[in-house]
Each structure stands twice: as structure tokens, then as C-alpha cells.
Amino acid sequence: MCNCGRNERGATDMDKVAYFTPYPFEIGQRMRIEGGPRAGDWLVVGVTERKVTLRCPISGREFEWDRFCYLVEEREAKWPAED
């Protein structure tokens, strides 16, 4: 966890923080990405610890990307986090 900066305000100040978590892709999963350069429908055809391979169901083209994360929630929290 990166705690590179120092909290220049008080240690008890709260901010809205976006939390992200790795998505647990599964081979054979059908998915739709809404927005961004990867928008569209995809079939998961490969998964490793670092990469996910998606196939377009229309063109059949496959793309391997670094695994990406999804927004899980926003809530008030200390930021940056203190261990």
C-alpha cells in the first residue's frame, strides 16, 4: 500500500475515497463494458494472474490486456491510508 505523502491536515480528516478491487474474471464469462476504449460485449477466453484475454463475439478478434479493476464503492475515509 502506498503511503508516500503526508496528510497535511489533521489525522482525523475524512475524504471521499474511491475503492477498487481486482475483478475475479472466469473463462467463459460473458461481459459488457460500458464506456471507455474497451466498450462493448466480450467473452473471457483466458485468465492469468496478470492478464485477461477477451474475444469480441462479433469479429472473433482477441485482445490480451493487463487485468483491470472496477469501482466497488465510495465512502468517507482517511486518505492516504495509514497502516
Full set of structural domains in the chain with CATH = 15-77 (2.30.30)
Residue 37 and residue 57 in contact, taking contact as beta carbons nearer than 8 Å? no
pLDDT digits (tens, 9 = 90+) for 24-78: 999 999 998 888 888 889 999 999 999 999 999 999 999 999 998 777 678 888 8
Which residues are CB-contacts of 15 (< 8 A; sequence separation ≥ 6)? Answer: 76, 77, 78, 79
DSSP H helical ranges for the chain: none
* Its pTM surpasses 0.85: no
The Cα 10–Cα 51 span in angstroms is: 40
